[in-house]
Structure 1
Amino acid sequence: MEPNISMEEERNHTSVIMFVLLGLTDDKELQLVLFPVFLGIYLVTLFWNLSLIILIRMDSHLHTPMYFFLSCLASIDICFTASISPRMLSDFFKEEKTISFIACATQYFVAAWMGQAEYCLLAAMAYDRYVAIGNPLQYSAIMAPGLCQKMVAGALFSGFLCSFLETVPCFNLYFCKSNIIQHFFCNISEIIILSCSSPFVTQMILFLAAVFVGFGSLLIILLSYGFIAASILKISSVKGSLKAFNTCASHLAVVTLFYGTALAVYMHPSSGHSENKDKVLSVFYIIIIPMLNPLIYSLRNKEIKEALKRMIKKTTHLSQ
Structure 2
Amino acid sequence: MENANDTTGINFILLGLFNHTQTHQFLFSIVLMTFLTSLMGNTFMILLIHVDPHLHTPMYFLLSQLSLMDMMLVLTIVPKMAVNYLMNTRSISPVGCGSQIFLLLTLGGGECFLLAVMAYDRYVAICHPLRYPILMNQKLCLHMTAGSWVLGGVDGLMQAGATLSFPYCHSREINHFFCEAPSLVRLACADTMIFEFFMYVCCILMLLIPLFLILASYSLILTAVLHMKSTATRKKAFATCSSHLAVVGLFYGTSIFIYMWPKSYHSVAYDKVVSAFYTVFTPMLNPLIYSVRNKEVDGALRK
TM range (shorter): over 0.9
Deviations 1:90-146 (A, max 9, x none): 122233311111111111111111111000100000000000011011011110000
- CA–CA separation in structure 2 for the residues paired with 1:73 and 1:272: 31
Deviations 1:273-309 (A, max 9, x none): 3111111100101100000000001111111111122
The within-5 A match list for 1:174-213 is: 174-213=167-206
- CA–CA separation in structure 1 for the residues paired with 2:259 and 2:203: 10
The within-5 A match list for 1:80-91 is: 80-91=73-84
1:134 and 2:134 aligned: no
How far residue 272 of structure 1 moved from its aligned partner, in angstroms, is 4.0
How far residue 174 of structure 1 moved from its aligned partner, in angstroms, is 1.3
**Which residue of the other structure, out of 64, 69, 75, is the alignment partner of 1:76?**
69
Structure 1 counterpart SS, 2:89? coil
Runs of 5+ consecutive residues of structure 1 not aligned to the other structure: 1-14, 311-320
Match of 1:8 in 2: none
User: Is residue 114–residue 159 contact of structure 1 (8 Å, CA) maintained in 2?
Assistant: yes
**Which residue of the other structure, out of 213, 219, 225, is the alignment partner of 1:220?**
213
How far residue 206 of structure 1 moved from its aligned partner, in angstroms, is 1.6
**Which residue of the other structure, out of 101, 113, 134, is the alignment partner of 1:108?**
101
User: Is residue 49–residue 74 contact of structure 1 (8 Å, CA) maintained in 2?
Assistant: yes
Match of 2:31 in 1: 38
- Give the TM-score taking structure 2 as reference length: 0.94
The within-5 A match list for 1:128-277 is: 128-277=121-270
- CA–CA separation in structure 2 for the residues paired with 1:272 and 1:212: 22
Runs of 5+ consecutive residues of structure 2 not aligned to the other structure: 1-7
- Number of aligned residues: 296
- CA–CA separation in structure 2 for the residues paired with 1:229 and 1:285: 28
In structure 2, the CA distance between the partners of 1:251 and 1:240, relative to structure 1 (3 Å rule), is same
- CA–CA separation in structure 1 for the residues paired with 2:270 and 2:174: 16
User: Is residue 16–residue 175 contact of structure 1 (8 Å, CA) maintained in 2?
Assistant: no
**Which residue of the other structure, out of 281, 298, 302, is the alignment partner of 1:305?**
298
User: Is residue 38–residue 89 contact of structure 1 (8 Å, CA) maintained in 2?
Assistant: no
- CA–CA separation in structure 2 for the residues paired with 1:96 and 1:51: 33
User: Is residue 49–residue 75 contact of structure 1 (8 Å, CA) maintained in 2?
Assistant: yes
- Give the TM-score taking structure 1 as reference length: 0.89
Deviations 1:222-279 (A, max 9, x none): 1001101111011012221111111110000000010011111222323243111111
Structure 2: which amino acid aligns with 1:67? Y
Q: Which runs of 4+ in 1 moved over 4 A?
A: none
Deviations 1:177-235 (A, max 9, x none): 21000010001111011011122343243233223321100000010011011110110
1:21 and 2:14 aligned: yes
How far residue 16 of structure 1 moved from its aligned partner, in angstroms, is 5.2
How far residue 83 of structure 1 moved from its aligned partner, in angstroms, is 0.4
